[in-house]
Amino acid sequence: MINLLNIFIYLLTALGGVLSYYSLLRIAFDATFGALLFLQCLFSLHMFIFMLPWIFSLRNFSLWQFRVRNVGFIDKVKICNGFYR
């Protein structure tokens, strides 16, 4: 959505290089979203580096220890008259 708005502002900008309202708006959009893109890339890189120790420490970790035993198992002794106690 923001990219479409930026393209629309580019189309409204004068081609002669005159600093009109739309060209100033285009410069502001470029600076703002360029900074946001840089911060997003920086944050993604930071989170990737932060998660590397967790990824390598969980490499040999098994989820088998979190299994739920006897799921769906109903003890026939506890069933009386069709109801489970």
pLDDT, one tens digit per residue, over 28-76 is 888 888 888 888 988 998 888 888 888 777 777 777 667 666 655 555 5
Q: Which domain holds residue 62?
A: 2-84
The residue whose two tokens read 């703002």 is 32
Q: 6: pLDDT confidence band, cut at 50, 70 and 90?
A: low
Q: Which residue has the higher pLDDT, 64 or 2?
A: 64
Distance, CA of 31 to CA of 23 (rounded, Å)? 12
Whole-number pLDDT of residue 2: 59
Counted domains in the chain: 1
Whole-Å CA distances, 61 to 24, 35, 53, 85: 55, 39, 13, 37
Whole-model pTM: value is 0.40
